[in-house]
Amino acid sequence: MRVSFNNGCAAGYGGSQDFYARNESGKVHAKANGVDFQRRLRAACGYAELGMARESLAELNALGDEFQSRPEVLQLRLHHFMKKKQWSRALRVSRELCRIAPDCSAGFLHAGFCLHELGKTLQAKQLLLKGPTTLLKEPIYYYNMGCYDVLLGNLRDAQVHLQISFKMDSSFRELAKRDPDLAPLHDIL
């Protein structure tokens, strides 16, 4: 899985810890230009891309408190929790992402998925319905809404949502044919 964020995380990191200014607790603190933060974040992304979750999380944890609520830090932390299927922890992080970046669709999509995985599918749907209008540009929004509607017994609404998703990105049709949540609709997909 490739981890990518709006800040352009890239694989690989060749920096030295000598570049980081640390406070008395050993956490990296901000410099005027944010170079230290960017280096740590790139290292964390690189480790994540290599499947080295422990090292990636160590880089995130080493960032100062002033960086812990940045959207890119939350997204990477969320990635790790979701990969480990730690849905409650992922939900807390995704809700924080929704709070600090309310126009960003990622926090809402992930929070909805976590709620669904926790058996709270109706809450997942309600959350997405209250999300930002940017969600309407995302085929995964319609796909997830279709899945939630099937599970809630709203098969007609599910078909409408899924058709929109397929029109936006035809690859979702193949995914839908194998999705166990959509089993009641497999014959018509």
Taking only the tens place, the pLDDT of each residue in 133-159 is 999 999 999 999 999 999 999 999 999
Cα–Cα distance between 99 and 87 in angstroms, integer?
A: 18
186, 155 Cβ separation under 8 angstroms? no
The pLDDT of 64-69, averaged and rounded, is 91
Q: Which whole-number Å values give the CA distances from 137 to 112, 140, 145, 168, 182, in the listed order? A: 16, 9, 13, 9, 22
Tokens of 102: 């309310």
Q: What pLDDT does residue 101 have? A: 95
Q: Tell me the average pLDDT of the chain.
A: 85
Cα–Cα distance between 4 and 11 in angstroms, integer?
A: 9
The pLDDT of 108-123, averaged and rounded, is 97
pTM, two decimals, is: 0.79
Q: What pLDDT does residue 34 have? A: 65
Q: What angle do CA 75, 102, 85 make, to 5 degrees?
A: 35
Rg, C-alpha atoms of the chain = 19
